[in-house]
Amino acid sequence: MKGSTSTAGYRSVGAGAAGSAIILTAACTGLWAGVTGSGGDTEPVTIEITPADGTGDVRSNVPITVGAANGTITDVRVEQAGGGPDEDIPARVGTEAEAVAEAGDGDDYAMTGVLDKAKTEWVSDWNLVPGADVVVTATGINADGAETEVVSRFTTEPADKGKRLGLESNFPSSGQTVGVGMPVIVNFDAPVENKEQVENSIEVTSEKATQGAWNWFGDQMAVFRPEEYWEPDQKVSVNMRLAGVEASPGVVGTENRRLDFQVGREQITTVDDGAHEMTVQRSGKTVKTFPISNGRADTERYTTTNGVHLTMEKYEHLVMDSSTVGIPAGSAEAYRLDVNWAVRFSNSGEFAHAAPWNGNVGSANSSHGCTNMATDDAKWFHDETLMGDPYIVEGTDRELEVDNGWGFWQRSWDEWLENSPTGEPDSTDDTGTPGSVHAA
């Protein structure tokens, strides 16, 4: 591993946590224990590291602690090697596309910790890589300035095959530019029982700081949403420090992942069901109005859902088959249509799309629930839409469910917090997550 210089800094992890934090970094210099500095009658500082030197099969979700007596702690460094998803390759971190660096390399995945105000106790922020060889080097000084360095070498318990938490998918993807309503959606490949510990292992930071929180939809999907729409034109990063977190009894994460995306311009679309009109605004100013035809509303199935949607995906050409929304082929209401310039805004079969066959566009609602548009208008909307743009439908009596597509803005901020396992907002200003990632 590359050698690097340890750096002192400040970081608060957990509600109400305070004090200075020392950045833990990988080090390739010689590791030794001894006393240096000026002479004097003062006893040397005594440093104790837990887990102790020589310990084997340490659980990856217990914290490293360093304590000092007869002095204060000045530096803590951690090196992790080996481990990871397969025992015969180094533990790695990186983007969802490719693992690019050994664990501990780079600022994003350097181990950090909190030092108390007296500078006599340090506790690590994050979990350890399973199946790794770990070296902790701690330094302290006594009142005379004499320095002591102590080293603890130990190993962490490996993650059993078949009991490893990984990612099934995430939205958005790294490098994407998205709308101001876009949440962070993480789908895991195994059920999560310890939801607080897992969500506290995922740190969301944005260039224009705000606060957000996680909600869970089932045991495998976590969703982070800010209190209000993201401010436009900024970068958002998601550091998923999943290595070592215990998702469920015996099931642990093995890799860290990073996701970076860009929030684009603010575009908010409002569809007035009664007026048969779509209004597209950029930064609060109307840039387009289009005549539309919504669901005919003679049944709930054919009523366009009301509320705050997000645009999810788009197609230049799409075959819309009624059998995918529960209307079997051969039934009286069955349909199979070739449509162009389609933008999805729910999981119940709703798209905004071109419908040149609909003579009621602008005058009446006669679709199966989609927003029908003239071809040129639908193409403009398709071309100018980003994933995560708010798409608000007003005036129907079928309310959008929070879990229908990305209906997450249907919950008020208070309701969103009530449904968060931590119950606390999470700041995106790089000050840490609300609670602990370690075992209870």
The pLDDT tens digits of the residues spanning 280-307 come to: 999 999 999 999 999 999 999 999 999 9
The residue annotated as part of the active site, out of 276, 309, 368, 370, is 370
> Among 21-25, 64-68, 159-163, where is mean pLDDT lowest?
21-25
Model pLDDT, residue 12: 31
The pLDDT of 56-63, averaged and rounded, is 96
Closest-CA residue to 379 (of 346, 321, 339, 338): 339
> Among 27-31, 82-86, 377-381, where is mean pLDDT lowest?
27-31
26 pLDDT higher than 90: no
Rounded Cα distance between 40 and 55, Å, is 34
In 229-333, beta strands by DSSP E:
234-240, 246-248, 251-253, 256-263, 267-272, 277-282, 285-291, 307-310, 313-321
* Cα Rg of the chain (Å, integer): 27
> Is 370 annotated as catalytic?
yes
Give the chain's domains with CATH numbers: 8-155 (2.60.40.3780), 164-264+414-427 (2.60.40.3710), 267-385 (2.40.440.10)
DSSP annotation of 262: E
Q: What would the two tokens of residue 221 be?
A: 């999907």
Model pLDDT, residue 166: 94
Closest-CA residue to 82 (of 71, 70, 90, 74): 90
Q: What would the two tokens of residue 39 be?
A: 């002479």
Q: Count of CB atoms within 10 A of residue 119's CB?
A: 17
Report whether the peptide linkage leading into residue 51 is cis, meaning its omega lies within 30 degrees of zero: yes
15 pLDDT higher than 50: no
How does residue 405 score in pLDDT terms, banded at 50, 70 and 90?
Answer: very high
For residue 398, the one-letter residue type is R
Burial of 431 (0-12, 13-18, 19+ CB in 10 A): middle
179 pLDDT higher than 70: yes
- Taking a C-beta distance cutoff of 8 angstroms, is the pair 78, 150 a contact? no
Model pLDDT, residue 109: 65
Closest-CA residue to 308 (of 121, 435, 194, 183): 183
For 4-22, b/e burial (b = at least 16 CB within 10 A) is bebeeeebebbeebebbbb
Model pLDDT, residue 111: 87
For residue 371, the one-letter residue type is T
How does residue 270 score in pLDDT terms, banded at 50, 70 and 90?
Answer: very high
102 pLDDT higher than 70: no
> Is 309 annotated as catalytic?
no
Measuring CA to CA, how many Å separate 162 from each of 91, 190, 250, 315? 18, 10, 10, 37
**Residue written as token pair 């609602």:** 365
What is this structure's pTM?
Answer: 0.85
How does residue 20 score in pLDDT terms, banded at 50, 70 and 90?
Answer: very low
The residue annotated as part of the active site, out of 353, 368, 382, 438, is 353
Model pLDDT, residue 248: 97
Rounded Cα distance between 314 and 366, Å, is 22
The pLDDT of 55-61, averaged and rounded, is 96
Model pLDDT, residue 90: 38
Give pLDDT tens digits for 306-343.
Answer: 999 999 999 999 998 777 767 777 676 777 789 999 99
Residue of 156 and 96 predicted with greater confidence:
156
25 pLDDT higher than 50: no
